[in-house]
Structure 1
Amino acid sequence: MAVDRSAPEGVEPHRTPVQWLRSARTDSIVAVCYLSLAVFVLAGLWSNPRSGYLTKSDQDQTLFEWFNAITARNITHLASPFSTQLQNYPDGVNMMANTLMYGWGVPFAPVTLLFGPTVTFVSALTFGLFSTAFAWYWVFSRELVTAKFAAAVGGVFCGFAPAMIAHTNGHANFVVLVLLPLIALQIIKMARHAERTVGERTVWQPRAAVVLGLLVALQLTLGEEPLLIFALGFAVFALAYLRTRRAIALSFRAVAPSVLLAALITLTLTGFGLWWQFAGPQSYRFIGIGRVGNDVLSLFQFSPESAGSMFSFGPDVSINPTEDNAYFGWPLLLLVAVTAFFLRRERIVRAAGIVVVVFTTLSLGIVLSFDGVVRFGEGDFAMVPMPWLAFGWIPPLNGIIESRFAMAAVPGIAIILALGTQRAIEAWRTRAAMRRPVAWFAALTFALLPIAPTVLPVSERPPTPAFFAEGTVRQYVSDGSVVIVPPPTSADAVALRWQVDADFAFPLVGGYFVGPSGADRGAGYGADPRPTAVLLMLARMFDTVPVIDQARRDQARSDLRYWRADVVVLPPTHSGDVLRRTVDDLLGVQAEQVDGVWVWDVRGVG
């Protein structure tokens, strides 16, 4: 990936102090621009971190705030970081099998304790956007192009691509991706060093291996799925770049010893946590093939969170607002295709183009979907199978949401944009032909402006009931749990916020987490609902008091014993009167109103 410089390949030319200061000044300006853009995107949440909520986050902001809060609590209470019973009581939650992001939550525990989990959450999102963009800019400016502006173009796309902005609505683990380009840079440097020592039979680079092992281990504490997707993308890029079997074999042999050493270091640091994740209590396994691929139209449309959305009249084919993993827009894809054609003789452009094509195709999932329709024509064979159908059942690939494969195309597109900008700048400097540079920058502006991010919408979250916020709940909890009516799920996890505001004074029945579901222990969101929980959810859904017979009363008592319940709590909610009468009838006890909620003290109910 090294460009043609005056110094030998991969070696920075000697720079005078003045040149170094100019370079550092440029880097600083780029960093400030990226940081300003990140703050702009999250301005709504920064302006109200106490009660602001990302409108399109669904329940994910609540979940990540809970992760931040439980991390800080575990540190101050010297509690186990591997499992907890504060959700899904009494079965508990395998913390290592969830996206707790210990790599961020642990160092930011003081911030969480002092300013609350929302500040830690929005800090992660802001840092993720800014640092991911700057890390890619750093790699591009040192390894790909000589013009800092060209590198900045590639960096801003990597850090603020529509998929990054979509995940900023709630998935911090898919936003803090700063280590991925650094991992790529480290492997590139290791390969380059090995090439210079081609006469040696085995090339050991222990220092580089230690750095790589630490980077990968830290990335595992921030997000495993982004690392897996990136590793697949980087592998395809490397194979396409090297091309021939001989080149691939020589490169593999050259870096394999050091990469294996790095892998050993990573496993030493993270091995027990990975074992707990996949084999510990409340672990799970991914089963079968889901259909969560991108619609073809999502590749060409503009994201709702981009400036071009006001001019986009296409159908809504989004999976959900946090999973708009493509949405490159047709002007950008057209520019990338034309640029790749004109620069097709450059090996790195061909490799980047292959990555873009391969991973956008994989992101379409197991069957083709166009305008939300997956069936074409008539008959039993009307569905159009896609390549992911052949791979989606293989562990751990079956744990990937396939639409996210489009994110592996983002660095490939950025490489093509950066090189196109570099060639335009070179042409501009030679003054040989002004039309091409002008045409390039006009096309680049036309392609990037429509996908420029906008401020993410923020709404006001309802206040926590005084029963929890003022600690009244402590009077009703002995050694058992709190049962919210109905128990929290991935669709309604607001009770996690109440638990945080009560300083984790009680364990919750149900919750929002990933855990085993059913007899086959496949991955599922939340607890397997018990009959009483299902009954309460249906009562709220249909706003109707169900028929309560003795069998249902006995089942309710059985479920309360299983949950080791101390108190049943009905907070303000729609269908509240229906739910109160339902629980009154189930328990044979009248509710008591305490600090804004209805309470049934069930410590004496056997």
Structure 2
Amino acid sequence: MSVDLTVVVPAYNEEQRLGPTLDAICAHLGADPGRWGTWELIVVDDGSADGTADAVLAAAADEPRIHLVAGDANRGKGHALRLGVLASCGARVLVTDADLATPIEELDRLDKQLADESLTAAIGSRAHPDSAIEVHQRRVRERLGRLGNRLIRAVAVPGIKDTQCGFKLFDGDKARTAFADARLDGWGIDVEILQFFRREGWPVAEVPVRWSHQEGSKVRPGDYGKVLFELVRLKARAARRVRVRRVDLAVAGLFLLGSVLLYKGLWADLDHRYLADSGQDQNQWEWFFAVTADNVAHLRNPLFTTVQNFPDGVNLMANTVMLGLSVPLAPVTLLFGPTVTWALVLSLGLAGTAVAWYWLIAKRLVRNRWAAAVGAGLCAFAPPMISHANAHPNFAVLFMIPVIVDRALRLCEGKRVVRDGVLLGLFATYQIFLGEEPLLLAAMGMLLFALSYGLARPDVARAARRPLLKGLGIAAAVCLPLVAVPLYWQFFGPQSYHSVLHGDNAGNSPLAFLEFSGRALAGDEARADPLAMNRTEQNAFYGWPLAGLVLAIVLSLWRLALVKALTFTALAAALLSLGPKFRIPYTDVVLPGPWRVLAHQPLFESVIESRVAMICAPALGILIALAVDQLWATRAVDGDVDIDVDVDVDRDAPDRVRRTGVGAGRARNVGAAGDRVPDLSRTLGLVAVALALLPIVPTTMPTRDRPEIPPFIADGRWKSYLGEGESLVPVPLPDPGNAEALRWQSATTGRDFPVPGGYFNGPWGEERIGIYGAPPRHTSRLLRDIRYGAKIPPIGPNWQAQARADLEYWRAGIVVLAPQDNAEALYTAVTKLLGRDGKPVGGVWVWEVRGRS
């Protein structure tokens, strides 16, 4: 049943004045049928001892749109309102007292205010400067009432001047949600409902009304004390028990289960398994976690270390060490080792990111929780995220991004700009210590969305501009002092650099958006690998079925400003990700890309442009959530329960939202019992969503055996060979292609011995261009080339002199050769360079160079 307006009147022993009240309401609504549309009037008899119920039934005999909901006992106004609102069907719900202290004609004012699509409730306010108090209470009574109202505002809902006026107009669906959540049976329910609206971020406006004190009113000054008591008791109960919906727990559990299953091969044997597609990144990240924990334990500078790239060191702030997690997880790393921290960060981080997107989508965009779960699943487990989840937790652990988006939206509402600005600044600060590049990409996505939404809804943009800019200024004022020192160290400290070289082929191919990633259920490595830099940078790969489904969703929901903005955001991000230039598939035509404008700008010059396509994931996830939410809308009839959903998912148009609550004890027959009505189009739509998402479902991350740490390192035998200030030189030196020596440090107490070279971001040349690894020296380049199959060149005095110079630069104490490919050739080369044979110790060859020239 579709109803435009429901009026709910709670009544207790109102036999005498209920008849005139119902007549007045019906007369007003019937005087302008075109304005109010279909309406209903629900009177809730709260266990009256007089003829209240008979008066309602008598009125209903003449006006069938009047309905009676009868309570079993007198339980209070809150209980009566809850019954009435949950029995309502209206797109909007007006609650008013039986005495009509606020005349029904004031509905016009509230309705006009609620027509502003940014609002969800308009409440009558006697404290508004434009209100008219036509008949006052006695002076003492009025003063006591004002004092009580001030106390309530201070305790519960600061900012709302009159919580207790009984004349309120709500968006019907949100009212039913709020009243279903309410627990108070007395006068305090008004405050509880307003608290719920504020907690959910649903805007409420106070509207001036005419009001007259009515003789026989059941509200007494002492009732304000009862309200305060109820609120304090409710707050205490809430502090003891956080209420979480079962579906929320189920969704979070499914996300966690899915994340753990992705890494089940790693969890099965943390000591010996290694993510096969991570290259050397797992070794690097375990080293990051280990060295950060060691710095924390010994109160060292967490922004720098010389344990790697000795003696120059590594600027940790200029690398992705995720101090926001590596520091608080330092006890875990110290107790259980960095591999446990690595697995925890990946598993919990992916699940936490999905839960955060689920929270945001369910809170602000859709009403069906499973629709929010589907969308959030795509946001967090999209192919680009899974690709980075092999090796780059800073791009997979993004749980702060939805929180930042939500706080920015709160700023647009203009309610608590200072508080929200401060929180946004703190959230941005924390995200900087999780990952700066993801924050930059998120800011790009939010800017693209804001610009496109502003074009679609200039009225909303005008209203949001001032509080948003003010809040962003406050956020910057909070954030910048907190990150000033770390950022100075990052950009101007030792081993800092100003950009990172990624090469000329870092953009996406247009074909990558329609292909499946190598680790997707329908993926093919042979088809995916040529379209990406490597398996950790498959930054598109959404697949052609999802692209087709999204196109259909956009066409069907194009009328909605939200859909237009999401579409523009996704398309703009995809286009930017193609790079400074791109080739049209299957042709030799090369076109300039918009990224060329940003490619050499500060901050953007270090971004791998193909990663911009990651912005598409939340945009597509939200579009899918909107579609599933609309498809899930259904109609069911079951006894006295009437559920009728006709949802337009755009929050820009709340007047089009129609959803009834569950009727409780209604005195009218709404239909016979029945099951959910089948809907072929809905079923086909949900099947289409499933078929589009199934091919990109990620498969379990493959793992491989990792090399054993040589006993020379694992047993600590190296300690007798190294003096203070000396380094251990692995053969070849660790670099982005082979960083196993970093594991020697992170998995043992070997963090006490430094090594030259390494896998990190650092400067190269006079211009301090960022590169991966240390600037190569002649000896390190020679050993690396031999490791990968190059012939040993003639080694004479010149090469030996160069080796001595390089070893002196590295302050070498020993040179260590572990078993590996081409180990025999490496042994021969080192022997010729040093002019002596190595000594086998603990599974490795060792050359002592201490004190030798």
How far apart, in 2, do the equivalents of 1:355 and 1:51 lie? 43
Q: What is the deviation of 1:248?
A: 3.8
The answer to whether the 8 Å contact 1:349/1:415 transfers is no
The answer to whether the 8 Å contact 1:3/1:144 transfers is no
How far apart, in 1, do the equivalents of 2:387 and 2:527 lie? 19
For 1:24, which of 205, 224, 245 is the aligned residue? 245
Q: What is the deviation of 1:432?
A: 9.1
The answer to whether the 8 Å contact 2:293/2:330 transfers is yes
Match runs of 1:271-350 below 5 Å = 271-286=484-499, 290-309=504-523, 316-350=530-564
- Bigger radius of gyration, 1 or 2? 2
Residue 690 of structure 2: aligned partner: 445
> Which residue identity is paired with 1:115?
F
Aligned: 1:183 with 2:404: yes
> Which residue identity is paired with 2:572?
V
How far apart, in 2, do the equivalents of 1:592 and 1:315 lie? 43
For 2:321, which of 100, 110, 117 is the aligned residue? 100
| SS of aligned partner of 2:581 | coil
> Structure 1 96/313 Cα, relative in aligned 2: closer, same or farther at 3 Å?
closer
| SS of aligned partner of 1:459 | strand
> Structure 1 458/160 Cα, relative in aligned 2: closer, same or farther at 3 Å?
same
Unaligned runs of 5+ in 2: 1-116, 122-168, 184-195, 197-241, 637-643, 645-675
Residues 242-251 or 475-484, more deviating: 242-251
Aligned: 1:55 with 2:276: yes
Residue 428 of structure 2: aligned partner: 216
> Structure 1 224/9 Cα, relative in aligned 2: closer, same or farther at 3 Å?
farther
For 1:584, which of 831, 839, 845 is the aligned residue? 831
Match runs of 1:103-142 below 5 Å = 103-142=324-363
For 2:610, which of 395, 403, 406 is the aligned residue? 403
> Which residue identity is paired with 1:80?
N
> Structure 1 31/154 Cα, relative in aligned 2: closer, same or farther at 3 Å?
same
How far apart, in 2, do the equivalents of 1:497 and 1:22 lie? 44
Match runs of 1:122-201 below 5 Å = 122-194=343-415
How far apart, in 1, do the equivalents of 2:302 and 2:381 lie? 32
The answer to whether the 8 Å contact 2:274/2:703 transfers is yes
TM-score, L = length of structure 2: 0.66
Residue 505 of structure 1: aligned partner: 752
Match runs of 1:236-275 below 5 Å = 236-243=448-455, 248=461, 250-275=463-488
Q: What is the deviation of 1:605?
A: 1.2
How far apart, in 1, do the equivalents of 2:776 and 2:525 lie? 44
> Which residue identity is paired with 1:279?
F
Residue 36 of structure 2: aligned partner: none
Aligned-pair identity in percent equals 39
How far apart, in 2, do the equivalents of 1:237 and 1:277 lie? 30
| SS of aligned partner of 2:391 | coil
> Which residue identity is paired with 1:573?
Q
Residues 542-551 or 16-25, more deviating: 16-25
Higher helix share: 1
| SS of aligned partner of 1:151 | helix
> Which residue identity is paired with 2:445?
G
Q: What is the deviation of 1:24?
A: 1.2
The answer to whether the 8 Å contact 1:101/1:223 transfers is yes
Aligned: 1:414 with 2:621: yes
Residue 78 of structure 1: aligned partner: 299
Residue 810 of structure 2: aligned partner: 563
How far apart, in 1, do the equivalents of 2:768 and 2:528 lie? 40
> Which residue identity is paired with 2:801?
D
How far apart, in 2, do the equivalents of 1:10 and 1:359 lie? 35
TM-score, L = length of structure 1: 0.93
Q: What is the deviation of 1:369?
A: 4.0
Residue 523 of structure 1: aligned partner: 770
Aligned: 1:534 with 2:698: no
How far apart, in 2, do the equivalents of 1:192 and 1:329 lie? 37
> Which residue identity is paired with 1:505?
D
The answer to whether the 8 Å contact 2:414/2:464 transfers is no
**Number of residue pairs aligned between Structure 1 and Structure 2:** 590
Residue 455 of structure 1: aligned partner: 700
Higher strand share: 2
> Which residue identity is paired with 1:286?
S
For 1:14, which of 156, 162, 178 is the aligned residue? 178
How far apart, in 1, do the equivalents of 2:318 and 2:619 lie? 30
Residue 496 of structure 1: aligned partner: 742
Q: What is the deviation of 1:538?
A: 2.1
More relative contact order in 1 or in 2 (CA 8 Å, sep 6+)?
1
| SS of aligned partner of 1:487 | coil
| SS of aligned partner of 1:78 | coil
Aligned-residue CA RMSD (Å): 2.4
> Structure 1 270/509 Cα, relative in aligned 2: closer, same or farther at 3 Å?
same
The answer to whether the 8 Å contact 1:539/1:546 transfers is no
| SS of aligned partner of 2:752 | coil
The answer to whether the 8 Å contact 2:290/2:746 transfers is yes
1:508-538 superposed Cα distances (whole Å, 9 cap, x missing partner): 0100000001221111001001111112122
> Which residue identity is paired with 1:261?
I
Q: What is the deviation of 1:252?
A: 2.5
> Which residue identity is paired with 1:425?
W
Aligned: 1:230 with 2:434: no
The answer to whether the 8 Å contact 1:3/1:146 transfers is no
Unaligned runs of 5+ in 1: 195-203
How far apart, in 2, do the equivalents of 1:63 and 1:88 lie? 13
